[in-house]
Amino acid sequence: MGRNSLKYQFYATICANILSISYGTCVGWPSAAFLALQSKDSPLQSGPLTTSEISWVGSILCIGGICGNMFFAWLSDKLGRKVSMLLAVLPLLINWVLVTLATNVYYLIFARFLGGVSGGAAYVLIPLYVTEIAEDRVRGSLGACLVFSINIGMVLAFVSGNYVSYNVVPYMYTTLAIMHLIIFVFFPESPIYLMKLQKEKEAEASFRYFRNIRKVSQIPESFKAELEKLKSEFMEEKKKDDEAALSWGDFSTSVAKRTIFIGLTLMALNQLCGCFAMINYTANIFAESGSSLSPNMSAIIVGVIQLVGSYVSTLLIERAGRKPLLLMSCLGMTCGHVILGTYTFLKTLGYGVEIVNWIPILSFSLVIFAGSSGILTVPFTLLAEIMPPKIKSTTVSFCIATNWICAFLMVKYLPILTVALQLHGCIFIFAIFSAIGVIFVVAFIPETKGKSLEMILAGMEEKTRK
């Protein structure tokens, strides 16, 4: 099948990721909003927020993410990927309504929790849906659109927060969420999910839609072979399911343990390498360099760097492969952290490093770009590819929940660590974890570029036998 067969796979991925863009605005909203909420002219009737209240409004998003991730992973198997993605936008809509009506911090905390619920849903549902509709040759590129789309939303939030009033911004973001509801309802359910329900006619119709085959009389042989392969796989899967329901034994096989170990480690490294945490220090690092840019403008610059990095990931993931991207990402972050940590440490000791005050911006940009092009994007694609089908929903959900827990701990307690270890101490810790990431990628990560899900699983089984 030619390039024309990919058209509706791209359309569906773009429309599904309107949810990601909408969630990205929720992630980026605090950048400008916190400045207004802490000012004397706070829009809240209760007055300016304290530092403690700000930390809860910022970090509660991650708790919502854990809940949304677990709930929507379960719901996706009960109601399907499509219906779950349509329902996932509702907490986000309520989030913006609460922000608009907020008179005190409790409105904002609950609003951010609901925003996190939608984020948790997006991280688990979109990779599942995209993996199940995409051809092998574009599965990686389409999967990488998740983080790229979130970054689009973040940049949109940074820019609008800088130029649009606090009270108008929620109405803009609500429009995005409603757009997702209106557009995505017209796309079919995943053919793989329909096949699981033994709805073969609906599954075939969905499969034809995503392969852009309209005339039943002109079905290519390659499509027939792919469809028969899908049917035979699920007949075999059904036979296994009939023999035994999901049990602890399914998670304790050699393949399951290896894939869960890879998934959990990738999700932990995604946060512990420090890229996400460093974004919170954008203003500090730009100030270290003597930059006169405002905090909002600094955030916009960093958002654009993230966006470019994640776009590079979508371009290279099917050309260079998953493993090389992750390897270069971790290497780049290690170098960036070491340079930045050394600069801040020497400055703390009183050395005259002002002559090279461009180093913080350069090294910080390297960290953000390297992270966004690999460790922040690729793991979500890889997770959906390497997990055995029977335990995929559960294990993907559990791994992403681990990511949310690490994110919460980083956002909530990093300021305390910074006081105890100073900024350079935290940066060196991030460098250590990034270096561990290099070793881990070399030793454990399989290359899945251009392989079918069956080939990937067979490769994992072969490695466990060695």
In terms of domains, do 227 and 284 share one?
Answer: no
| Residue 2 maps to a domain | no
Q: What is the pLDDT of residue 462?
A: 82
Among 207, 242, 277, the domain boundary falls at 242
**Kind and range of the H or E element at 420?**
helix 392-444
The span from the CA of 227 to the CA of 224, in Å, is 5
Least confident stretch, 63-72, 282-291, 449-458? 282-291
| Residue 1 maps to a domain | no
The span from the CA of 287 to the CA of 293, in Å, is 8
- Look up the pTM and report it: 0.83
- Please determine, for residue 111, whether its predicted confidence score (pLDDT) is greater than 90: yes
In terms of domains, do 395 and 454 share one?
Answer: yes
In terms of domains, do 276 and 175 share one?
Answer: no
Q: What is the pLDDT of residue 91?
A: 97
Among 208, 242, 276, the domain boundary falls at 242
The span from the CA of 131 to the CA of 381, in Å, is 8
Rounded to a whole number of angstroms, the distance between the first and last alpha carbons of the chain is: 36
| Residue 286 maps to a domain | yes
Among 223, 242, 261, the domain boundary falls at 242
In terms of domains, do 336 and 390 share one?
Answer: yes
Which one is predicted more confidently, 140 or 273? 273
Which one is predicted more confidently, 414 or 242? 414
Evaluate whether 403 touches 267 at the Cβ level (below 8 Å): yes
In terms of domains, do 194 and 287 share one?
Answer: no
Q: What is the pLDDT of residue 185?
A: 93
Which one is predicted more confidently, 136 or 63? 63
Contacts 24+ apart (CB under 8 A), 299-305: 299/28, 299/31, 299/32, 299/158, 300/155, 300/158, 300/159, 300/162, 302/364, 302/368, 303/28, 303/151, 303/154, 303/155, 303/158, 304/155, 305/365, 305/368, 305/369, 305/372
Q: What is the pLDDT of residue 425?
A: 93
In terms of domains, do 217 and 341 share one?
Answer: no
- Please determine, for residue 245, whether its predicted confidence score (pLDDT) is greater than 80: no
| Residue 66 maps to a domain | yes
Angle between helices 378-386 and 322-348 in degrees, nearest 10: 140
- Domain count for the chain: 2
In terms of domains, do 204 and 276 share one?
Answer: no
| Residue 247 maps to a domain | no
Which one is predicted more confidently, 209 or 465? 209
| Residue 354 maps to a domain | yes
183-225 pLDDT, tens digit each? 999 999 998 888 888 888 888 888 888 888 876 656 776 777 7
Token pair, residue 50, equals: 């304290």
Check residue 49 and report its DSSP letter. P
Query: What confidence category does residue 169 fall into, taking pLDDT thresholds of 50, 70 and 90?
Result: very high
In terms of domains, do 222 and 314 share one?
Answer: no
| Residue 420 maps to a domain | yes
Q: What are phi and psi for residue 464, nearest 5 degrees?
A: -70, -20
Q: Hey, how many other C-beta atoms are within 10 angstroms of the C-beta on 214?
A: 7
In terms of domains, do 332 and 232 share one?
Answer: no
Evaluate whether 364 touches 285 at the Cβ level (below 8 Å): yes
Calculate mean pLDDT across residues 392-411: 87
CATH of the domain at 438: 1.20.1250.20
In terms of domains, do 235 and 265 share one?
Answer: no
In terms of domains, do 95 and 208 share one?
Answer: yes
Q: What percent of the chain has pLDDT over 90?
A: 41
- Please determine, for residue 292, whether its predicted confidence score (pLDDT) is greater than 80: no
In terms of domains, do 170 and 263 share one?
Answer: no
Q: Quote the domain boundaries for residue 181.
A: 7-242
| Residue 261 maps to a domain | yes
Q: What is the pLDDT of residue 132?
A: 87
What contacts 296, CB < 8 A, 6 or more positions away? 31, 32, 35, 158, 161, 162
